Amino acid sequence: MKDKTILLQIWDFGGEDKYRFLLPSYAYGTFGAIFMYDISKIESLANFREWISVFKSGLKKENDDIPILLVGGKLDLENSRTCLEQEKKNLLDTGIFFGIIECSSMTNENINQVFELLLKEIINTKGNY
């Protein structure tokens, strides 16, 4: 990015409760986060505030306002969408997320843009790292 090599360390907790206790320890020292939902399963949005609270409990005090990007996955299942524009607008209106994007790992649509958006926001808010 801008002729700089940036190394990302990415952890996927899959929203599974059995990994919940690990989340705060992985959040420590984090500069940004991606929280994902499945566009074809409205219930994947059900506990996002709780998960963000658990995540933020592990952040350093000076980093507790890190940029968080909300990402809708499985864009290739557009015909099965249950998460509508109003739900996305409501989530963005919470002020927790700096942006929302949808992607598909199946078709590779918007995958690079997800990471570019997050990296640009980290650089904008935290400076050049």
**Under a CB-based contact definition with an 8 Å cutoff, are residues 52 and 34 in contact?**
no
Structure tokens at 67: 């940029």
pLDDT tens-place string over residues 12-51: 877 777 878 888 888 888 889 999 999 999 998 888 888 8
Select from 93, 100, 98, 91 the least CA-distant residue to 49: 91
- CATH 1.10.3720.10 assigned to 33-126: no
Please list, in sequence order, all residues whose beta carbon lies within 8 angstroms of the beta carbon of residue 6, skipping any fewer than 6 positions away. Answer: 119
Q: What is the pTM of this model?
A: 0.89
Report H helices in 29-100: 48-56, 85-92
In the chain, domain spans:
33-126
Structure tokens at 28: 């420590």
pLDDT tens-place string over residues 81-112: 999 989 889 989 999 999 999 999 999 999 99
